[in-house]
Amino acid sequence: MPDAGKRITLQEYVISECRDKGQNQGLESVIMAIAEGSRRVQQQVQQAALADALGVTGETNVQGEIVQRLDTASSDIFVETLSQSGQVAAIGCEEIERPVIVEGDTSEGYIVLMDPLDGSSNIDVAVSIGSIFGIWQKNPDETVNDDSLLRPGNQQVAAAYVVYGSSTVLVLATKHNVCGFTLDIESGRFAVTHPSIKIPVECPYYSTNEGNNKVLDGPTQKAITLLRDKYSQRYVGSLVADFHRNLLKGGIFAYPADQNRKDGRLRLMYEANPLGFVAEQAGGAASTGYERILDIDPVELHQRTPLILGNKDVVEDTVAVIRGG
């Protein structure tokens, strides 16, 4: 078993990536806050059943979705670690209706949009779930308010996600690189295991909820049929897990608009934008089916979007069919 102690740690990587490459040093603190929160969430996820922490809270969130206990627990953990970093001015969260404006002097701070626990339908059945983060740099002379969080994805300075699966993997995308780290449970530190991730040229997989086919419009049904004819279906039902497999092995994820969800199901600010940033930095693409995800000017914190995400050429071919009619 290789000694994780001899691998570069996340802290060492982030120092070289942020300090040496001219990123504001504060970004280091934000990323380490995400890592510490992920370490705590991983413990909660692993022990939830034993701690009677599975199941629902009985509330519904701003999305109108039933809230899982671990959704709330994860949200609380990340709000705490991000707020304590001293570098986060505001947090937008899937589980919290309004932005969390962090007190204190964070004039040079960052704005973080997050999905604290993605794949909620899989929590109680021990299937991989995750956390997703988009990171924007606050304008120095700006007093943060709710509108400060409505930034297009092309202004992100970094994005990250964590998969709580057979191992706990944190993937960090900056403007220079996409790097994967695995949590060493004993030390509680993340160590480099995927130094420089590029989405493979080959595309063996497509990921979509085939149960929605009957409510897709004609061109979109045709696009999904073409994917089904060419690739193997892999669909976990946790966006982060489906995306992580496709990022490492090649693949395309599609959750298009349909008759029941005219704006799509997934959320722009803390699912599509962060994973779209990671995908593009790894040589992939992210589209609504009609426009680049990262170019969307957001109007609402929790707005939804259709999402076609993965291998650039396959995304482009799929978008052409969806648009071509």
* Contact set with Mn ion (CB under 5 A): 94, 115, 117-118
Closest C-alpha to 175, from 158, 196, 192, 199:
158
Nearer to ligand AHG, 68 or 85 (CB): 68
115 contacts ligand AHG (rule: CB under 6 A): yes
Q: If 0-12 CB within 10 Å is exposed, 13-18 middle and 19+ buried, where does residue 64 land?
A: exposed
CB 274 → Mn ion: shortest distance, Å? Answer: 11
Contact 250, 201 (CB under 8 A): yes
Count, residues near ligand AHG per rule CB under 6 A = 12
Shortest distance in whole angstroms from residue 250 CB to Mn ion: 22
Residue 237's binding partner, choosing from Mn ion, ligand AHG, none, with beta-carbon cut-off 5 to 8 A by kind?
ligand AHG
Tell the smallest beta-carbon distance from residue 243 to ligand AHG (Å): 9
CA distances from residue 239 to 21, 103, 124, 140, 152 in whole angstroms, order as listed = 31, 32, 16, 33, 21
Member of 7, 265, 304, 312 binding ligand AHG (CB under 6 A): 265
d(CA 80, CA 264): 31
Q: Contacts with ligand AHG in 171-210 (CB under 6 A)?
A: 209
The Cα 128–Cα 138 span in angstroms is: 33
Residues 83-102 that bind ligand AHG (CB under 6 A): 94
Our finding on whether 118 is near ligand AHG (CB under 6 A) is yes
Stretch that binds ligand AHG, among 74-82, 149-157, 176-184, 231-239 (CB under 6 A): 231-239
Q: How far is the CB of 9 from Mn ion (least distance, A)?
A: 28
Interface pick for ligand AHG out of 16, 121, 187, 259 (rule CB under 6 A): 121
Chain residues binding ligand AHG by CB under 6 A are 65, 94, 115, 118-121, 209, 237-239, 265
